[in-house]
């Protein structure tokens, strides 16, 4: 398992699908953040996962949360993926796996496959919820449920 509930997220910068620099420090302190790490664009499980976040995107924004997907794919691959599936959120290119290592995202299947983990982070940058599962269809539901439970407290 990667970083734990209660820890602060590490500061990081990556390029998004449009070649813009995304700096986590520009979000922390302003709004909650949902970060999901996924293995690869245009694969069946990952496409299902990103499309589930897309289909519920408005519910995340109603909570004031910014949704960000991260994989080791390039900006160009992300740009095509965003366009093909009309994704309303940012995808970040972690081509050297620096950020996945910062978050301690575990690789699967004899260390061959990138991990799949989702984090719900408070606007102060504190991890409120972590979900680690190869089941791509559960990540959006778990993240949205965590946001709902946090607001209910």
Residues annotated catalytic, as ranges: 46
- Cβ–Cβ < 8 Å for 75, 18: yes
Query: How many other C-beta atoms lie within 10 A of the C-beta of residue 135?
Result: 12
In angstroms, the CA 31 to CA 40 distance is: 27
Q: Is 104 exposed, middle or buried (0-12, 13-18, 19+ CB in 10 A)?
A: middle
In angstroms, the CA 110 to CA 65 distance is: 34
Q: Is 120 exposed, middle or buried (0-12, 13-18, 19+ CB in 10 A)?
A: buried
Helical (H) or strand (E) element with 46: helix 44-55
């Amino acid at each position: 398992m990667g970083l734990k509930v209660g820890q602060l997220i590490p500061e990081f910068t990556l390029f998004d699908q449009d070649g813009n620099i995304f700096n986590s420090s520009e979000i922390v302190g302003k709004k909650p953040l949902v970060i999901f790490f996924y293995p690869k664009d245009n694969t069946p499980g990952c496409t299902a996962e990103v499309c589930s976040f897309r289909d519920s995107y408005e519910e995340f924004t109603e909570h004031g949360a910014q949704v960000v997907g991260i994989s080791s794919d390039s900006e160009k691959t992300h740009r095509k993926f965003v366009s093909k599936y009309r994704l309303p959120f940012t995808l970040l290119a972690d081509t050297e796996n620096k950020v996945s290592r910062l978050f301690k995202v575990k690789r699967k299947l004899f260390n061959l496959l990138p991990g799949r983990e989702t984090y719900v982070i408070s606007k102060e940058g504190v991890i409120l919820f972590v979900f680690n599962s190869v089941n791509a269809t559960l990540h959006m539901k778990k993240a949205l449920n965590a946001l709902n439970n946090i607001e209910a407290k």
